[in-house]
């Protein structure tokens, strides 16, 4: 009979292996941003396209051009309903791509927008979405400079799907990545979590509960810039925005990228009371719920306070330190609760909530 | 939510833990307490309670996880129903990933079945109203806790003349498996941490048979970490004071007689089956509900002429032994290797209330840290 220790070691070996794609059809789980999605990307896309040279997978590709470095990213938006408290698909499509650039260390500059429209979509609705996009672009300080439109027959799409790509310029001195992260670094977050996922879910109207929850959809680039202005550029080690899969999944990506441990302090992670209430009622862990307006940064310990203060001064008034990088538990995420207990937090396996962004 | 925070107060927890250590020292022997309910298992692991208690106190995980106890044949039936032409199959999210011999409901959905997850059977009734030309089936699982909401959905459908709503009924009763576990001598239990949610419906009196027939104390317990710690202290105190009875730790919610209206609805809408198969426990007489004759028109099993075949568990799966507290999750041969949350073999690895998933996700860390 194997001992508990043997069993645990076996698990760690099994966990260390690349996720296997076993399904012979695409399921909704492959879109959830968790383990199934990671397996799909590995087994289908990396297999076909190849991995970026010796690099971790990031929110944006970093391209070295003569005299400059740019970040290049793309994202598709299929959220349903297309309008929900706090935002719309249009606002999301701009902010999501802006944020992917910002957390790559870039200053977002230009966006493209591709639209797949379902026959019959109300023209007023499309106008409103375009207006939302313009407004979001202005707020983020980016321009939508090119686009494409396709219309498909009724039923071949659901109202409107949007794909945005974005380009941003990375200031010379910024270097981000798992290799920059050191033991003792602090993990920061720019604001409260889990509002977006819960807002969309409740907006679908098929739950027995209602709650005044608004999506947190927002551009984070101004907060990123405020942080960089307050600390030495090399003090910022790693950034990511916790969209699908939530903070829990992103923290696992951090642990994987750094081969260090991530210890989060659950008490320090802000969740609005009504969001926590809804999560508790539905048995959902807020750490796995999608966000669209916050980012995680790993910052050198001696720069953490200045970084938090700068973010707060720039409007992220609930920015805080939520954890640290530890040498124990390499590749794993642990969450310490106020109660004295510590639990391990794995990547999200499947999200029961499709089409959240 | 202040209501919740009060029951997660670290200072109060420290006091209770010290009381438990004191009692355990005083009584001086090992203790095995079974938490009946999967919700308790989840809390114990999520808050690392096992490692806050004296080594002499051991939690044995019980059968009260609604997803875990559903046998493989019923999952196959659910997948079969989901594939009927014109059917919209509705289910709680947890059940979507439970594997049957023909795959899971999630995979059925990818193959074209219209499977939708709901948070309440009333949501399924709404889907039926919105889709009058479709047949909507609700996959009803759970103990006396969730059965009243299924009953309410059926009563509403009856009253408002909804004709296209059907229930695939897998509701089960809490007492028969508890009795089955106490009847066998596989695990000698010193006390039961009683199911708080079930007790809100059936009442704490419902468990009087445990001390009376088996001479084992039971404390009906809430689901916050402090509730469970207090329950352990109460069980040990019973031994210290030479008592053996049912106590109600969850008195802020549970009444001794339960919820009379909910029990009336259960009696009206459901009838106990002669027998029902449980994963790991096999057939247990009078342990499951079917729809009563008055509600037979809503019964998916008769309306669709369900195959209803019994299917053995996966040969490598030891969920049965886990569910009856005979082995720890990590003692299962496939735990964490062949059977993981992303590719589960057994039900205990699927539900967040399942002992294996809880241990896999939350339980490992103190051992890992201690090993370093």
Residue of B nearest to A282 (CA): B119
Q: CA distances (Å), B201 to each of A172, A283, B169, B171, in order?
A: 65, 20, 18, 14
Q: Which residues of chain A are within 8 Å of residue B328 when distances are taken between CB atoms?
A: 4
To the nearest whole angstrom, how far is the Cα of A30 from the nearest Cα of chain B? Answer: 11
Asked if the C-beta of A329 comes within 8 angstroms of chain B's C-beta atoms, the answer is yes
Handedness of CA A43, A45, A48, A51 (dihedral sign): negative
Asked if the C-beta of A17 comes within 8 angstroms of chain B's C-beta atoms, the answer is no
Residue of A nearest to B344 (CA): A349
CATH of range A178-344; options 3.50.50.60, 3.30.420.40, 3.30.429.10, 3.90.650.10? 3.90.650.10
3-class secondary structure, B268: helix
Q: What is the distance between the alpha carbons of residues A257 and A252, in angstroms, rounded to a whole number?
A: 8
A7–B330 CB contact, under 8 Å: yes
To the nearest whole angstrom, how far is the Cα of A21 from the nearest Cα of chain B? Answer: 10
Per-residue confidence (pLDDT) for residue B368, from 0 to 100? 58
Share of chain B above pLDDT 70, in %: 95
Instruction: Kindly list the structural domains of chain B, giving each domain's residue range(s) and its CATH number in brackets, ordered by start.
Output: 72-173+258-303 (3.40.50.11740)
Per-residue confidence (pLDDT) for residue B272, from 0 to 100? 97
Q: What is the distance between the alpha carbons of residues A264 and A248, in angstroms, rounded to a whole number?
A: 10
Q: Which residues of chain A are within 8 Å of residue B363 when distances are taken between CB atoms?
A: 343-344
Q: Which residues of chain B are within 8 Å of residue A340 when distances are taken between CB atoms?
A: 10, 13-14, 48, 52
B172 pLDDT band, cuts 50/70/90, is: very high
Region B168-190: what's the mean pLDDT?
A: 91
- pTM equals 0.81
The structural domains of chain A, with segments of one domain joined by +, span: 1-51, 178-344
Q: What is the distance between the alpha carbons of residues B134 and B115, in angstroms, rounded to a whole number?
A: 13
Q: How far apart are the first and last CA of chain A?
A: 47
**Residue pair A13/A29 in contact by the 8 Å Cβ criterion:** no
Q: What is the distance between the alpha carbons of residues B89 and B135, in angstroms, rounded to a whole number?
A: 8
Tokens of B82: 């989901």
ipTM, two decimals: 0.70
To the nearest whole angstrom, how far is the Cα of B243 from the nearest Cα of chain A? Answer: 31
Expressed in percent and rounded to 5, the helix, strand and coil fractions of chain B are 45, 20, 35
B48–A342 CB contact, under 8 Å: yes
Asked if the C-beta of A28 comes within 8 angstroms of chain B's C-beta atoms, the answer is yes
Per-residue confidence (pLDDT) for residue B5, from 0 to 100? 59
Q: Which residues contact B44 (CB under 8 A, 6 or more apart)?
A: B35, B50, B59, B228, B358
B364 pLDDT band, cuts 50/70/90, is: low
The list of chain A residues with pLDDT below 50 reads: none
pLDDT, one tens digit per residue, over B63-109 is: 888 888 999 999 999 999 999 999 999 998 889 888 899 999 989 99
Handedness of CA B337, B110, A278, A271 (dihedral sign): positive
Handedness of CA A193, A195, A198, A201 (dihedral sign): negative
To the nearest whole angstrom, how far is the Cα of A260 from the nearest Cα of chain B? Answer: 14
Q: Which residues contact B282 (CB under 8 A, 6 or more apart)?
A: none
């Amino acid at each position: 009979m194997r001992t508990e220790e043997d069993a645990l070691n076996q698990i760690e070996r099994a966990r260390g292996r690349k996720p296997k794609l076993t399904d012979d059809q695409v399921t909704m789980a492959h879109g959830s941003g968790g383990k199934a999605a990671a397996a799909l990307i590995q087994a289908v896309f990396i297999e076909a396209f190849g991995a970026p040279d010796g690099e971790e997978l990031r929110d944006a590709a970093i391209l070295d051009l003569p005299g400059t470095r740019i970040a290049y990213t793309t994202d598709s938006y299929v959220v349903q309903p297309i309008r929900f408290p706090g935002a719309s698909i249009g606002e999301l499509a701009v902010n999501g791509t802006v944020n992917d650039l910002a957390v790559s260390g870039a200053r977002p500059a230009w966006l493209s927008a591709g639209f797949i429209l379902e026959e019959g979509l109300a023209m007023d609705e499309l106008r409103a979405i375009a207006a939302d996009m313009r407004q979001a672009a202005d707020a983020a300080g980016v321009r939508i400079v090119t686009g494409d439109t396709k219309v498909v027959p009724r039923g071949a799409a659901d109202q409107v799907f949007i794909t945005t790509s974005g380009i941003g310029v990375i200031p010379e001195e910024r270097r981000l990545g798992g290799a920059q992260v050191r033991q003792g670094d602090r993990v920061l977050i720019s604001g409260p979590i889990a509002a977006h996922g819960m807002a969309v879910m409740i907006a679908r109207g098929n739950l027995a509960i209602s709650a005044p929850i608004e999506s947190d959809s927002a551009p984070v680039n101004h907060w990123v810039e405020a942080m960089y202005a307050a600390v030495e550029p090399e003090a910022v080690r790693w950034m990511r925005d916790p969209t699908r899969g939530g903070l829990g999944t992103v923290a696992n990506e951090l642990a994987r990228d750094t081969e260090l441990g991530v210890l989060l302090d659950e008490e320090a992670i802000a969740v609005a009371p009504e969001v926590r209430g809804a999560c508790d009622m539905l048995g959902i862990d807020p750490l796995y719920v999608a966000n669209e307006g916050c980012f995680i940064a790993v910052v050198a310990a001696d720069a953490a306070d200045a970084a938090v203060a700068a973010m707060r001064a720039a409007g992220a008034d609930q920015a805080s330190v939520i954890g640290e990088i530890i040498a124990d538990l390499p590749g794993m995420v642990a969450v310490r609760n106020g109660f004295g207990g510590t639990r391990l937090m794995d990547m999200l396996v499947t999200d029961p909530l499709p089409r959240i962004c | 939510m202040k209501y919740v925070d009060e029951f997660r107060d670290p200072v109060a927890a420290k006091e209770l833990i010290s009381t438990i250590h004191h009692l355990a020292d005083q009584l001086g022997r090992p203790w095995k307490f079974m938490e009946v309910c999967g919700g308790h298992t989840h809390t114990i692991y999520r808050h690392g309670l096992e490692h806050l208690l004296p080594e002499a106190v051991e939690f044995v995980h019980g059968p009260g996880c609604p997803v875990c106890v559903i046998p493989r044949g019923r999952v196959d039936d659910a997948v079969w129903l989901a594939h009927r032409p014109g059917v919209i199959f509705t289910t709680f999210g947890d059940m979507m990933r439970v594997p049957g011999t023909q795959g899971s409901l999630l995979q059925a959905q990818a193959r074209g079945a219209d499977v939708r997850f709901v948070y309440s059977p009333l949501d399924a009734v709404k889907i039926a109203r919105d889709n009058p030309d479709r047949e909507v089936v609700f996959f009803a699982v759970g103990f006396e806790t969730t059965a009243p909401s299924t009953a309410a959905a059926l009563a509403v459908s009856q009253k408002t003349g909804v004709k296209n709503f059907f229930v695939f009924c897998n509701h089960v009763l809490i007492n028969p498996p508890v009795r089955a576990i106490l009847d066998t001598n596989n695990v000698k239990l010193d006390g039961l941490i009683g199911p708080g949610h079930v007790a809100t419906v059936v009442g704490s009196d419902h468990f009087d048979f445990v001390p009376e027939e088996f001479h084992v104390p039971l404390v009906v317990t809430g689901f916050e970490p402090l509730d469970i710690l207090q329950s352990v202290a109460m069980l040990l105190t019973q031994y210290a004071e030479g008592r053996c009875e049912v106590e109600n730790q969850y008195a802020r919610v549970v009444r001794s007689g339960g919820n009379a209206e909910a029990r009336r609805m259960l009696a009206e809408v459901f009838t106990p089956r002669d027998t029902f198969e449980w994963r790991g426990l096999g057939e247990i007489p009078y342990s499951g509900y079917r729809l009563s004759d008055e509600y037979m028109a809503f019964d998916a099993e008769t309306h669709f002429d369900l195959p209803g075949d019994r299917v053995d568990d996966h040969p490598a799966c030891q969920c049965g032994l886990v569910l009856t507290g005979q082995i720890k999750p990590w003692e299962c041969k496939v735990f964490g290797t062949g059977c993981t949350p992303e590719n589960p073999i057994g039900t205990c690895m699927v539900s967040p209330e399942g002992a294996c998933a809880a241990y896999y996700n939350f339980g490992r860390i103190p051992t890992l840290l201690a090993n370093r």
